[in-house]
Chains A and B, each alone.
Chain A
């Protein structure tokens, strides 16, 4: 594709009502609405270990004129949170199925952990997920990364500077691996990010947190490929 590059804004770490720690108000429809009103160009739905709200998210984003990516925040066996992002809904659902098979048989108790529901565009509940989604899958970070990259997705260790469920808390420091980027929450980041591209996202669990952090990127279009190319070519800038 030819044409000039523009600067776009991406927030690629958003939780919906499918995440037990996410707000029930965070339906895919309201997330798309809120993100569009904030002027974000590219957003991704990344619930814990499940992509079951992604089909509705696709339609909601289309209705609100905002470009979606589809993903999830996987919890590896090391208990490291990893953002896995795809261009298509199918790939996110495929990774979701794999992770679900590798989650322990711990039933979710909504009264204790929170609801895990997936909904339609009208916010009617379609179903709920039985196993607790915040548990760790019996797959290593390396195994998940290989699977994601094989599906042409982006693999990004999440919030690497946080004290819980980050690569630095679980593994002491960032091991070398084929990451597409690393996600941080602070500037300056206290963790050595090596030479990986650095991005930030809101990690919003509530609608009002969407866009509190975002990454601008220079690309010909606000698309998966535009973002991926910006990562490869160092044309991303995190905003805190």
Chain B
């Protein structure tokens, strides 16, 4: 699947659309950014509730292309600004990390 399909196929609301639409090869689910830094793969989607500007910095460092923020967590302005600058796609959903991971996994693994 490609990044934009997080919205068109899975219904997550895109809240930062200045990104280059690209295929998603993998995903990582974690709320500890130290763990994300250590394990996330390039070109992946991050599923998390850790809505903080550091999440965008970690995405840039590791090559994460998109992020789905779960449980409708509030998105700080400085985080959204950083996401626009770094062209990281950000989606928001009221679903939890378990559900979102399952939905995305189903789409990526059947590619």
Contacts and interface: CB of A to CB of B under 8 A. Distances in A.
A172 B76 contact: no
B50 A171 contact: yes
B53 interface: yes
A142 B52 CA distance: 10
A37 to B, nearest CB: 39
B54 A171 contact: yes
Given A142-B76, A172-B36, A172-B37, A78 B50 contact: yes
15 contacts: A78-B50, A78-B52, A140-B52, A170-B31, A170-B32, A170-B33, A171-B50, A171-B52, A171-B55, A172-B34, A172-B36, A173-B57, A175-B52, A175-B53, A175-B57
Contact of B34 (A140, A169, A175): A169
Given A170-B31, A170-B34, A171-B55, 11 more contacts: A140-B52, A142-B76, A171-B33, A171-B54, A172-B54, A173-B54, A173-B57, A175-B52, A175-B53, A175-B54, A175-B57
Interface SS of chain A: loop
B3 to A, nearest CB: 22
A207 B33 CA distance: 34
A27 interface: no
Interface in B73-96: 76
A142 to B, nearest CB: 7
Contacts of B37: 172
B33 A172 contact: yes
B53 A140 contact: no
A185 interface: no
Contacts of A140: 52, 76
B84 to A, nearest CB: 18
Interface of B: 31-34, 36-37, 50, 52-55, 57-58, 76
Interface of A: 78-79, 140, 142, 168-173, 175
Contact of B32 (A142, A169, A173, A175): A169
Nearest to B78: A142
A76 to B, nearest CB: 10
Contacts of B32: 169-170
Closest 10 CB pairs of A and B: A172-B33, A171-B54, A172-B37, A172-B58, A169-B34, A171-B33, A172-B34, A175-B54, A172-B54, A78-B52
Contacts of A79: 31
Contacts of B31: 79, 170
Contacts of B58: 172
Contact of B50 (A142, A170, A173, A175): A170
Contacts of B34: 168-172
A106 B101 CA distance: 27
B69 to A, nearest CB: 13
A175 B50 CA distance: 14
Nearest to A164: B32
A173 B52 CA distance: 12
B102 to A, nearest CB: 24
A79 B48 CA distance: 14
Nearest to A167: B54
A171 B51 CA distance: 10
Contacts of B76: 140, 142
Counting chain B CB atoms within 10 Å of each CB, the highest count among A79, A171, A172, A175 belongs to: A172
